[in-house]
Amino acid sequence: MRLEASLRREPGERPLPRAMLVSGPKSRGRPRKEYRPHVRGPEDVERLRKHRVPALLITPEWVSQSGYPVRFRPWLALPEGISNQVTSEYRILPVKDQEALREPGIVELVALLLRFDPLAARLVAKRNRGKIDPNELYRRVRNEGLERPATRVRLQEFAPAIPVSGKALPREELRWIERNNPRLEEAG
């Protein structure tokens, strides 16, 4: 058994551009032909967002603006229910809480970074400590089931309510990492 999700246009809503759609497999009978969005670049992500699809492109520029200069291939964050319905040039990151993708802030960035770079998540949290709401960080970590990576990099320092799960890196190692990673103004 498998779970399937689809995107449907509401009455009066304009369709996605044809160039952005990929034809799906046709099934027997007289069903409608299915199309899947194909995301090739940031413009396509913006088109999806205009059509109220909660899609978010996680770029190294966004992380760098948050105080941690880093380079990586961008990730496309999509709700779990539709992540298998979208094809993309980007790596796809399924997210359980689709509301987190609607208006992302620093807390959402930290939670997303926990999925693929927990040390970057800690550095972004540390360098933006004043902007982080501990209750919101706790909620995002719990909703996504990220207690283990949060514990590994000791995010309980920023949101004490996050339950401890697994083994944390030694404090000395984390201090060394924090000292030896450049800040945005030093990287320029």
d(CA 127, CA 153): 14
pTM of the entire structure? 0.78
pLDDT in tens, 140-165: 999 999 999 999 999 999 999 999 99
Question: 69 is in which domain, residue-wise?
Answer: 35-182
CA angle 45, 135, 139 (to 5 degrees): 50
Whether residue 133 lies inside any domain: the answer is: yes
Whether residue 86 lies inside any domain: the answer is: yes
Among 146, 69, 70, residue whose Cα is nearest residue 115 = 146
Mean pLDDT of 134-141: 96
- What tokens does 163 get? 């339950």
The DSSP letter of residue 39 is: E
Whether residue 80 lies inside any domain: the answer is: yes
pLDDT in tens, 65-100: 998 888 999 999 999 988 888 999 999 999 998 888
Whether residue 49 lies inside any domain: the answer is: yes
Number of domains into which the chain is organized: 1
Q: What is the pLDDT at residue 32?
A: 65
Whether residue 13 lies inside any domain: the answer is: no
d(CA 39, CA 20): 7
d(CA 103, CA 158): 21
d(CA 41, CA 54): 16
Whether residue 27 lies inside any domain: the answer is: no
Mean pLDDT of 46-63: 92
pLDDT in tens, 20-38: 767 666 666 666 667 788 9
Whether residue 29 lies inside any domain: the answer is: no
